[in-house]
Every structure is written in C-alpha cells, then in structure tokens.
Amino acid sequence: MKIGMLIIGNELLQGKQSEANLQALGLFLRTYFQQVHRAQFAADSIEEIHQALAFLETHCQLIVVTGGLGPTPDDKTKEALASYFHKAIHFNPEALAVAQANYQQFERQLPAGHTYSSLPEGFKALPNPAGFAPGLWYDGGRTKLVALPGVPREFQAMLTHLPQLLQLEASQRFNLVTVKTKGVAEEKIFNELCPTLWQELETFGEVSSLPHMLSVDIGVKTLLAPEIIYQHIQQSPLAPYVWSYGQTTLEEAILQKAISSKLTVGFAESCTGGLCAHRMTGVPGASQSFWGSVVCYDNSVKQNILGVSPTTLAQFGAVSEACALEMARGARNALNVDVAIALTGIAGPGGGSPEKPVGTVWVGVSGEKKQQAYRYQFKGDRENLKQRFSQIGLFTLLDYLS
Amino acid sequence: MKIGMLIIGNELLQGKQSEANLQALGLFLRTYFQQVHRAQFAADSIEEIHQALAFLETHCQLIVVTGGLGPTPDDKTKEALASYFHKAIHFNPEALAVAQANYQQFERQLPAGHTYSSLPEGFKALPNPAGFAPGLWYDGGRTKLVALPGVPREFQAMLTHLPQLLQLEASQRFNLVTVKTKGVAEEKIFNELCPTLWQELETFGEVSSLPHMLSVDIGVKTLLAPEIIYQHIQQSPLAPYVWSYGQTTLEEAILQKAISSKLTVGFAESCTGGLCAHRMTGVPGASQSFWGSVVCYDNSVKQNILGVSPTTLAQFGAVSEACALEMARGARNALNVDVAIALTGIAGPGGGSPEKPVGTVWVGVSGEKKQQAYRYQFKGDRENLKQRFSQIGLFTLLDYLS
C-alpha cells in the first residue's frame, strides 16, 4: 500500500505557519515499516485540492489529508472531498454523536451553527481525542482516504486511528540502523576519510547520510542485525568520530552518561538564553541529573548569582575565556552540581566587533577533572547561532562525561 | 507569475527531519507580494522528481527546487533536472569558479572528486554565501527553475538571488493586516461573539483566521490602509481580546511594553526548563529589559538560589500556589528585576497525580503592583505542554505590563 499525504492550508503556502504533520506521519509510519510515498500541499481551494487529489490518487492507495476541517469559512476540505468523489453532503447522526463526544470531553457544548453533523455520503466521522473537529474516513475501494485536523497536536492524536483503519501491523522485518558522528563534515567522511564506506554499507542495505548541526547521521535500512553495521563502522576510520550507535539523541546521550556516572549537571547561559536547559528538559526524567541553569543575560546576573568578578567583565568583557571560566565555576557552585557548562558569545545581529565578530562563543567547563574554556566561531542568523552555540555546549558536556 | 516549490529528500518523507524551507520561501515572497502557489515533496528518486516537476510545470511558471544538491550519492537533483529538460551534463568553467569561491569563503579547498563543476547544458551555477554546494538556475522560456540546497540556513541565504533572477520588485500594493487575539476560541469568535465579523471583513479584502496556542490571529489581505481594519475591529465585541494590532510577536510585545515602562523582567522556570528565557532572547535587543532566568529543575535550586522554603516544598509540593509565589519573589530578588514570572507544573509523561494531573501548572507573578499565582490545566505531550506553559507565562507577563 502506497501512502500519499495532502497538506491543506493557505497559511502554509504563505509562510505564516510551519508544517509539522508530514514529519509526524513519517515517524508514526516507521513503526509499521511504511513511509509517506508522495506528499503535496494545496491551498484552501476546491480546485487545487481536486488537482492534488488526482495526482496523489495516480500514485497512492491511501491518502492522508490534513487541514481545513475547522469551523471557519476558509475551511474547504469536506466540501472539496465530497465534490471530488461525487458525493452529496447529508446529515449523519453518527457524525453528530462523534462531534458531541469531542465537545463533551472538554465539558463544552456543540456551538450553534456547527456543520460537523453533515458528511459526504459514505464517509465516517472519527473521534478527536485532542480537539473538537471530527476526522473523516472514506473507503472507496481502490482509494482509501483519511482526513485529519491540521493542528499538529490533534493530527498526532488522531494518527492512532490509522492502524485499525488500515490493518497495519508493526513488523520487525527491517532495521533502521543509525550511527551518529561529530567533528567531521559529510563530504570529508565520504570523499577523504572513508571513500569506499558508502559502497561497503550498500552491501548491507539502503544507505543515507543526513548532516545536522556539527554532526552527521549515517543510516542503513537493512535486513541484518544493527550490530553487523556497528561492527563494520567500528573497524573503519570513522570510528573515533562516532558518538552514538543507535537513535540516541545528544540530550539523551548526556543524561545516560551523567546518570551512569552519578554526576549532576547544569549550565550558565548567556548567549544561548536558556536553550541548553530547554533542550535537556525535553527528555522525560531529565531531573535525575539535570539540576538547573542560570540564564544570565544581563551582566549583573553574572555577578550576583554566579559571582563573576566586575574586574573580569571590565578587563576582558563578558565574551572572554576568563568570564566563561568564572561563569562555569559560579554555576557549579550556585546550582550545586558536579559539572557545569558556561556559554557566553555574540548571537547578533548587533554586538559584534572585529576581534569578537557575531558568531564568537566561549564555552567554559567546570568539573572535578577539568576547568577549561574553548573558543568557537560560527556563521548564521541569531536563531541559528543560538542553536549552534547550544549544540557545542552540549557536545562539550558529552565530551566531559565520556 | 505563479511559483511552485519542489522539496526533495527521503529524510523528509521518512519523518527523519522537519521541513522548514517552504515557510522561509513563503515569508520571503510576501515582501514581493508573491506567494507559493503549489508545493510538493519528492523522494531522492529521478522518476518521482520527474513526476513532481511535470505536475508543477502545468500549474506554475517558476519552480523553486530545494534539496539533493549535496555531494553524497543519494543527491540526485542535478541528474534529475538534466534528464527532465533533456540536457547533457558538461564541464562548466563558471560553475567551477563558483564552487571554488564557495569553499574559499570558509578557507577550504575544493575536495578531490567533487562534481560541482559539471552542470546540465544551459544551467548556471549560483554562489552560496552560507555553504559549499552552488545553486542552479535555468531559464527555459515558459518555465524558469532555481535549485537551492536543502539545508535551511543555506536555502535562506540563497533566496536573495531570487529578486534579481526574477526581476521581482517590492510592491506596496497589498497590505497584509493582522490582528492577534487571546482568551477566546476561534469558533467562539465567529459563531458567538461576532457572527457577522467574517463577512464584514471580507468587504475589505481576503480574510483568514489562524489559531495558535491560546491565541487566534485574524488576517486581512487588503488594498486599504491597516488602520481601517483596526478601527473596524476596535468597534467590535472582539476588541477586549486583541493584544496586537499588527505583526508584533508575543515576545516583542512584552519587550516593547517593558522598555517603554522602564521595567526589567525575569523568570523562575521549573516545568518550562528555560523555554521562556529562550523565547525572550530570540528577539534582538532583548537585553534591554530581559535580565535572566533561574531554571530551577531540582528543588535544591529552588531553595538555594530562589530561597523557596523547605517547609513550603514539604507541605504543598513544588507544584503549588505557595511555591509559585515564593519562586517569583525569589527570582525577582536574585535576578534583581522589577517583575518576575514563575512557572511550576507537570509536563509529564510521569509525575502526575489525581489532584495534580500532567498538564497542571501554577504561574506566579511578583512585581510592585501584584503578587499573585494562577493555576491552569492543559492537555498535550511533554513538548506541547512546555510550549503551552511558556505561552501562558509570557501572556501573564504581558498582562502585568499592560
């Protein structure tokens, strides 16, 4: 069964909102060893929805539609589906019951003037455990279609309808094996370090390479056990650059190492403005090792909470080796943790100088076995630099714990 | 000129990575009063790229392609474009020069075995100010095509080529007017509060409604001055719910109000884990009013830095009115700010109880004119709850400053 996705919404084409549901569907389907075969956007326009449906129907047997099911006049999905499949829209008592139940779960009444109780002939309403608008299901023989709300939280909650509707079964047939590297660029890996690695890995299965910030993930979709791929890479010149054999994220890797070595960790964040802490607390159970962070955006906070000396700030500035070291030491004390990482840099767009251009960052480490600071220089806009700064901060912490 | 977008990459269809370039293109084109007319994904497959190009060519005159221009064997975009337009791939000295310049800007040498110097006949190489791979430009008469790298930072940097290639001119013709509301659901606005508002606004232009977390944006694309739409809404029952007339974000609105009232602000963040601070520091110049945040994930940090009393924690727990109030007061002291907002709640998936289920949050405010705490209850997964908690924290701060 080939699966297509139709993503409906003017706001996505106009750049007002980012699209999140394709990734959610892709991740969900991986469990069932399915993937999205085609995906397409359409504006809230009946004609454009029809054209996209026609394209998807020629390539796919299931179409997952998202968006345009809400209560406002720019929501045209139901109408477009009805006319595409030549179905009249009728009152449907089951749809009314589903809509009522969706409202009842939030202790709300169906509003007057709602249209949830009319459905195209042959369509079924699907309960929405995270919102008001019901989803839609249509089995047209060759083509099956499920329409879900565009709000990512609701879309994700409603994906749980898919296995039953499609009789999907979680399969163990393929392994999606990932190895994560750092400190080496994608093209250096495949052109210089291991010029035959790609071809070698292809003997095991389908190979992919995915560059991230400061990191490259290499994937193999294979019928073999992951350990066979791991062993092959452990014997290659890439081995010293690998920081994760498997799907572990950087934040998870840090927490695993911190928990196993019984160390608590924390941050002093100036230029990352809390992003390191936000990332660490994205992992459930982070509280076992991550104790906190002092976001010291203003220099007075560096002094008052972290005890950075006014002389250091006056003599070297906040973006300096001395300040990074004092921040790390101060955070280790104030947060009462075993290891603290400090970040102080210039995320821009203003604040740069010839000696310390935008993108400069000092990363300080303070722990029993090391007191050190490192300088890095990155490119990018403010948001991108914050991400890079936090990434180098987390990698520095991982290195300390390793 | 209708603009289509082709987004290439297995990683996007497989859910390994989220898509960011459509939004970037959409936002960029708004300045020129253009928008993306059609958008479509394709796997790294020559056949699928061809099928998507054929669809886009029937509906659009310019196709913006992103992805698949890198150096690894799964990058098939150049090959697919050449065969789609029936062009042979030749050595191109200008492309070599562009690739060399791309590398030189990072003080790097073109690696051996690179293929950047061969291009399909009639294609031109475009300099990449943020990466190594050149972009491609092809003017085929009826169809024009520009291919840019998939890495969002590079894609965005290369969008600056578009105005010259396409002779776009920034126009003042349309105004995209936005009004942002909070505290009222989308369907309540249009079904109960102002049942005729949508039709009224349609007399000014094209209306849209975009629900966000705890907020609904209403947009009108119009030939009239924004003030006319603002006035109309100021006289409607929606007025008390509006927090921004214009494109101001929540973080920007807070900073504007804090700067104009000369107040400094900060946070004590437990359940949001630094997200409030991360969001505030996303705005350039945030340091004028935002001084810092104490991310107090472990209770010892609540005690040591914020001075929360052990009795409060023992008697009421960390997720309590008393603790939220003490955290806010403690942050106001420790950070030495005029207003502090404290967040303490349960983001899950663990840690909930019948009295304090996952999704419970207490928001404390401490400032000269108010010492108060509010309890809220949200639904969602961990990431979603962190976002909602931070949103209610920021709205609470905005309310204080208003």
Provide, as residue numbers in chain B, all residues whose Cβ is less than 8 Å from the Cβ of A219: 16
pLDDT means over runs of 10, chain A (402 residues): 95 91 92 89 96 96 95 90 97 95 90 90 96 95 95 93 83 79 91 94 92 89 92 96 93 97 98 98 96 98 98 97 98 98 96 94 97 94 94 96 92
Q: Is residue B322 over pLDDT 90?
A: yes
Q: Which of residues 220-259 of A touch B (CB under 8 A)?
A: none
Q: What is the 3-state secondary structure (H, E, C) of chain B?
A: CCEEEEEECHHHHCCCCCCCHHHHHHHHHHCCCCCEEEEEEECCCHHHHHHHHHHHHHHCCEEEEECCCCCCCCCCHHHHHHHHCCCCEEECHHHHHHHHHHHHCCCCCCCCCCCCCEEECCCEEECCCCCCCCEEEEEECCEEEEEECCCHHHHHHHHHHHHHHHCCCCCCCCEEEEEEEECCCHHHHHHHHCCCHHHHHHCCEEEEEEEECCEEEEEEEECCCHHHHHHHHHCCCCHHHEEEECCCCHHHHHHHHHHHCCCCEEEEECCCCCHHHHHHCCCCCHHHCEEEEEEECCHHHHHHCCCCCHHHHHHHCCCCHHHHHHHHHHHHHHHCCCEEEEEEECCCCCCCCCCCCCCEEEEEEEECCEEEEEEEECCCCHHHHHHHHHHHHHHHHHHHHC
CB contact under 8 A, B335 and A301: yes
Per-residue pLDDT, averaged over B100-122, amounts to 91
Model confidence at B195, in pLDDT bands (50, 70, 90)?
very high
More confident residue, B170 or B318: B318
CB contact under 8 A, B348 and A153: no
Q: Does A300 touch chain B (CB under 8 A)?
A: yes
Q: Does A358 touch chain B (CB under 8 A)?
A: no
The Cα–Cα gap between B307 and B326 comes to 7
B16-38 pLDDT per residue, tens:
889 999 999 998 998 787 889 99
Give per-residue burial for A132-167: e unless 16+ CB within 10 Å, then b: bbbbbbbeeeebbbbbbbbbbbbbbbbbebbeeebe
B199-214 pLDDT per residue, tens:
999 999 989 898 888 8
B316 Cα to chain A: minimum distance (Å): 19
Nearest-Cα residue of chain B relative to residue A380: B153
CB contact under 8 A, A15 and B38: no
The Cα–Cα gap between B186 and B217 comes to 9
Smallest Cβ distance to B274: which of A277, A335, A382? Answer: A277
Interface test with B, best of A293, A377, A382 (most B CBs within 10 A): A293
The Cα–Cα gap between B310 and A132 comes to 43
> What pLDDT is recorded for position A229?
96
Model confidence at B220, in pLDDT bands (50, 70, 90)?
very high
Residue B341, both tokens: 């907002």
Smallest Cβ distance to A274: which of B26, B195, B274? Answer: B274
Smallest Cβ distance to B111: which of A14, A20, A192? Answer: A192
Provide, as residue numbers in chain A, all residues whose Cβ is less than 8 Å from the Cβ of B287: 297-298
CB contact under 8 A, B22 and A39: no
Per-residue pLDDT, averaged over B55-82, amounts to 93
Closest to A35 (Cα-Cα) out of A174, A155, A144, A192: A174
A313 Cα to chain B: minimum distance (Å): 16
> What pLDDT is recorded for position B223?
84
Q: pTM above the 0.80 mark?
A: no
B235-288 pLDDT per residue, tens:
999 999 999 999 899 999 999 999 999 999 999 999 999 999 999 999 999 999
Smallest Cβ distance to B273: which of A25, A195, A277? Answer: A277
Model confidence at B173, in pLDDT bands (50, 70, 90)?
low
Provide, as residue numbers in chain A, all residues whose Cβ is less than 8 Å from the Cβ of B71: 186-187, 190-191
Q: Which of residues 104-143 of A touch B (CB under 8 A)?
A: 111-114, 130, 132
Q: Is residue B382 over pLDDT 80?
A: yes
